[in-house]
A and B are shown apart, each in its own frame.
Chain A
Amino acid sequence: MANKLVSEMRLPPHLAHLLAARRLTTAKDVLSLPEVELMTLLDAGILTARAAVSHVSEFACPPCQTALALLEERVRLGGGGRLPTTLCGLDEALGGGIPLGKLTEVVGPSGIGKTQLCLKLALLATLPECYGGLNGRVVYIDTESKFSSRRMIEIGQKSFPQVFRQEGLAQKMAGRILVMRPTSLSDFTKSLEQMKVTLLQNDVKLLIVDSVAALTSSENERGTSTTGFTQHPLRWALSFLKSIAEFARIPVVVTNQVRSQSNDDGYHYSFEVKKMGDGNGAERIESHLVAALGIQWAHAVTIRLVFESHSGHRFIKVAKSPMSPAVAFPFIVESSGITLLTDEGIDVSGPEITSIRCQGQNLLGLGE
């Protein structure tokens, strides 16, 4: 919509000529300027500038829908718009599973089971619909060389023995998963760009990026922060992932790492600091780990699943989701992948839902 051409907008002729003469060819060119600057550029009066802006805006504006129409569309497309994870408690909390058309993030310390979940989801998406899958291809972007097809087949055989017993089905399912291994951020960006058409045309039903944090070094994150305006190194990738999720109506799952809290993390507002008095300006929240990629990334993802470990158990927490309560599920990793120990989630109150804990534990648990 932003790149809509002015020439296609059927503007009144004098406006169209004026804009063309100044080389304002797309909606973006016209609307990025404040009114007064547009006036100067066009060398016209304020009324002409306003008329131009309002005409262009009307054409560049996306169509309006009522929420009821959205609901009816969702019902019509069927399936509730979710990819079930087969972890019943988690599916229930998320309203059926990982939502289509939104960006879901899985974050946790290393070795806790994020890749295991991704392998399972990749497999699930390839399964035919009668088994609860999406019956489509999967693009798996593996930046840390953690993808193991042997492990994935093992998960498949143990979780869906009846499916994998059939001849050639394992090969067919595995054949639908396309693995890419970009080695740098520019490599990654390039492959995403090339993939755009493929995703939209080739029946790709799931995109997994494992992990996105590995592509950026920790120094890039903060940058020069005194002005409060940092160019996030992943901003293009973030916009792309979100928009591709929506247009192709597929789930996009992204894995993120953790890092320790630094003094650079602001975690109080100015009015809170004042209330606590002068001595306690830097009172820390209990957790020692935070998700990498910063707060801008945290705002942008729609669903955030936090994997953490404490008290000798591992938990999946639904940390951010517009339609789930704050619950945690204990889980283990076995030969059939991730399994919940109980489907009854534990209610978590307060900001604890977003904190990430990693207490000393045996991090070798990658299946038997």
Chain B
Amino acid sequence: MKNEIQESVGILKADKGANKFKGAEEPSGVLKGAQNAWDMLSEEQLQKHISTGSSDLNGILGGGIHCKEVTEIGGVPGVGKTQLGIQLAINVQIPMDYGGLGGKAVYIDTEGSFMVERVYQIAEGCISDIMEYFPYHHDKSSSGQGNLQPERFLAGIYYFRICSYTEQIAVINYLEKFLGEHKDVRIVIIDSVTFHFRQDFDDLALRTRVLSGLSLKLMKLSKTYNLAVVLLNQVTTKFTEGSFQLTLALGDSWSHSCTNRLILYWKGNERCAYLDKSPSLPVASTPYAVTSKGVRDAATPNCKRVRIM
């Protein structure tokens, strides 16, 4: 297989030499705007992933949430979608020295579930974990200590409060300009993408068309600005296979729009995550936990969860 790829690359390179296009970045001279698979592979391998806080969850996601992809996360109320969203908004800011992306986050809140005190708590939890894993590292750099304050993490989250579907459409359109001005944003989280569309839209067919327009825009944003787009979704019941089952909201057409889908659910007494859709990873599920510090690996049976405050 490798030989064939190398051969193809060889042909493409020779072709590139013959046809000089404007814009020296064009790797493939055959089709303008196309990129060959080998380059894509090398690029992908260099990509850092955004940690979710739980190493098991990172494992089924292939390292974490991927940039340049749209990931949908859905679950019943109370299972921890907002918690995971906030955790990702914090984790994307982990400095590169400590293995993170050192980027900023855009958090689009449609339901009002973003509680600032909890974000502060999760930021503190993240910092204490970093200090634990890198005990000597922060001593070396003079600004290291100063950079790891919860206030810095909070300052790195751009928050939009959306009160109607018009505003939701407006903010996604505006993001193009916003992201052009704030190039350090590496994740856009929409919590939740469903709420206003379930509430206020009467015309179901129009809703499907508007949603597909939005999903295309979001995919384009993620590719153009090299960031991860995470959409939190609600659940609804659907009548399939002779009984009512849980499924993610917004319908069948919407379910095609995301690149990856993660479903959060309860299994016995634990929270579990199930990777339902992914272009490169097998379906898998794993338990995880939500603690006072944020999203972490599922606790061992003997470990009692610490209460907040």
Contact = CB atoms under 8 A, between A and B. Distances in A.
Contact-size category for B: 35 or more
Interface string A321-354: 0111101000000000000000001010111111
A70 B166 CA distance: 23
Nearest to A246: B112
B162 A62 contact: yes
- Residue in B114, B117, B241 with the greatest tally of chain A CB atoms within 10 Å: B117
Contacts of A53: 173
| Chain B interface main SS type | mixed
Given A34-B213, A66-B158, A323-B308, A266 B170 contact: no
A62 B77 contact: no
Contacts of A229: 204, 251
A360 interface: no
A244 to B, nearest CB: 11
A201 B173 CA distance: 35
Contact-size category for A: 35 or more
A239 interface: yes
Interface string B162-174: 1111110111111
A102 B246 contact: no
Interface stretch (B5-13, B31-39, B58-66, B148-156): B148-156
A190 to B, nearest CB: 20
B269 A268 contact: no
B257 interface: no
Contacts of A266: 237-238, 243-247
Interface in B65-124: 76-78, 82-83, 107, 111-121
Contacts of B112: 101-103, 242, 245-246, 302
B236 interface: yes
Given A266-B243, A266-B245, A270-B247, A350 B266 contact: yes
Contacts of A64: 158-160, 178
Interface string A226-268: 1111001001001100110110000000000000000111111
B270 A350 contact: yes
B117 A95 contact: yes
Contact of A300 (B151, B195, B209): B195
Contacts of A299: 77, 111, 192, 194-195, 234-235
A187 interface: no
Given A54-B177, A228-B238, A269-B246, A347 B164 contact: no
11 contacts: A31-B173, A32-B210, A54-B177, A66-B155, A99-B115, A228-B238, A271-B274, A271-B276, A272-B265, A281-B242, A347-B304
Given A58-B177, A92-B309, A347-B305, 5 more contacts: A61-B170, A68-B154, A263-B244, A302-B111, A347-B304
